[in-house]
Amino acid sequence: MRRAFVLIVLTTICSTSSSVYADDPANQKRLRELLVERRDILREAVAEYVKAIRANEFSSVDPYLSTVKKLRSAELELCRTAVERLAAQERQLALAMAVEREVGQRFRVGGAEGSAANEAAVRGDRLAVETGLIRSRAALVPDTKDVNPNGRPVKEPTDKLLRVLSKYRRDVLRRRVEATVAEEHVGTKTISDVVAARTELLRLELAMTDDRLKQVEVYKRHIQKLIRHKHEQEARARFSIGGGVGFGAAYVHAIRLSAEIEMRLAVADVKGLLVKFNSEKDANELKNEYRDAHRELIKQVRQSIDSKIWRLHTNIDILVEALQQDLRREETHAGRMRLHQQHVEELRKLEERYTPPPGREKTFQARGNVRFLKAARLAALIGKMREQMRDGKNQAGK
């Protein structure tokens, strides 16, 4: 009886302390400080990458695009009102247009940065920002008050404009994919650039239709292209000495399996829809194969960071996403906290390793990479703190 009483008291204390942690104003303040710090360091990283583009230090704009997308999310997360959000999106569009002009000029005159893939990539990015801004502006217009003489909401022209922009952006992204594949074959792009281009096109094409049959066809095309890229990477790996192509094959394989699982989840409620595609594998077999491929990818990307096979930014981006996949699969709070701590420590060591003494950063790209690494570590810290606060709220609700 006494033991049961002690257990109840301890449980109550733990639950109360977790709840206090979640609701403590000091913790809420610290979380916002971390979010602001991450936003500011991402702004610095983007500024350095833009300078790197102007200085012709990049053969690919993907490091800039990857970082600026994280910056946009960080900025919008800190907005308290719709008006603040709108102002942030307007600033984001101004930057996207400036970079598009810069890369477009280089494309017309040639040079390392003057590639068709880069021009299409930044144009597609600008269209994405512009589409988001139009949606935010339309959301501020009440449907019930503003109607045209026919009684229809005034948003109808906006919806039509958004459809036109989506189709135009889809065409631009298709050109980006074609150009990126061609440039990867001659060595000015990596397979990660190809995957990034294909994934962005996949997301847009899925968003453009609610028809499940069409969505499956979109997934199938994407997966089949990835399978072909994997075979190409494996063929090159047999003649490669450096090992970078072998890493590329592991990367594409993991991405392909992830897309296949995603497709199954997206259309799981439509009976018989996937029978004709990869029916020899059940869901559990596919998940097990992905788990093994995911572990191999983490091993390969760590080796790539050590041997500097690929761009540092690309390696870190892949590593962070792979670590996030680990977190999504972990089902317990204790397990997620352990993983969060491991991620913070790994990124902290990488940040220390790649941060040169003051004044020793030789290029804009190097300065951008240091800030990108710091932002990744801050994101891991934020994730850890949110997990702690989430568990506190869950305990309080029990």
Window from 18-27, 172-181, 204-213, 257-266 with minimum mean pLDDT:
18-27
Looking at residue 110, what is its pLDDT?
A: 56
Longest Cα–Cα distance of the chain, Å, equals: 84
Spatial distance between the Cα atoms of 109 and 115, rounded to a whole number of angstroms: 10
Token pair recorded at residue 142? 């009440």
Query: How distant is the alpha carbon of residue 253 from its chain centre?
Result: 18
Looking at residue 37, what is its pLDDT?
A: 97
Window from 188-197, 261-270, 293-302 with minimum mean pLDDT:
261-270
- H-type alpha helices, 110-151: 116-139
Window from 11-20, 73-82, 92-101, 306-315 with minimum mean pLDDT:
11-20
pLDDT tens profile 127-140 = 999 999 999 988 87
Q: At 90, is the pLDDT very low, low, confident or very high (cuts 50, 70, 90)?
A: very high
Q: At 155, is the pLDDT very low, low, confident or very high (cuts 50, 70, 90)?
A: low
Alpha-carbon distance values, 305 to 13, 41, 71, 102, 317 (Å): 44, 22, 24, 30, 11
Amino acid at 234: E
Query: Per-residue pLDDT averaged across 201-210, rounded?
Result: 94
Give the chain's mean pLDDT.
83
More confident residue, 27 or 34: 34
In the beta sheet, which residues pair with residue 147?
153
Q: What percent of the chain has pLDDT over 90?
A: 47
What residues have CB less than 8 Å from 86, skipping those under 6 apart? 133, 136, 137, 140
Looking at residue 264, what is its pLDDT?
A: 77
Looking at residue 393, what is its pLDDT?
A: 58
Q: At 352, is the pLDDT very low, low, confident or very high (cuts 50, 70, 90)?
A: very high
Other C-beta atoms within 10 Å of 353: how many?
Answer: 10
Closest CA to 41 of 355, 359, 387, 388: 355
Spatial distance between the Cα atoms of 17 and 129, rounded to a whole number of angstroms: 42
pLDDT tens profile 299-341 = 989 988 887 767 888 889 999 998 998 898 888 999 999 999 9
Window from 68-82, 263-277, 382-396 with minimum mean pLDDT:
263-277
Q: At 386, is the pLDDT very low, low, confident or very high (cuts 50, 70, 90)?
A: very high
More confident residue, 150 or 258: 258
**Phi/psi of residue 93, each to 5°?**
-65, -40
Where is 69: in which H helix or E strand?
helix 62-77
Spatial distance between the Cα atoms of 33 and 43, rounded to a whole number of angstroms: 15
Q: At 104, is the pLDDT very low, low, confident or very high (cuts 50, 70, 90)?
A: confident
* Burial group, residue 12, by CB count within 10 angstroms (0-12, 13-18, 19+): exposed
pLDDT at 398 over 70: no
* Burial group, residue 191, by CB count within 10 angstroms (0-12, 13-18, 19+): buried
pTM score: 0.84
- Phi-psi sector, 308: left (phi>0), alpha (psi -120 to 50), beta: left
Looking at residue 29, what is its pLDDT?
A: 92
* Burial group, residue 323, by CB count within 10 angstroms (0-12, 13-18, 19+): buried
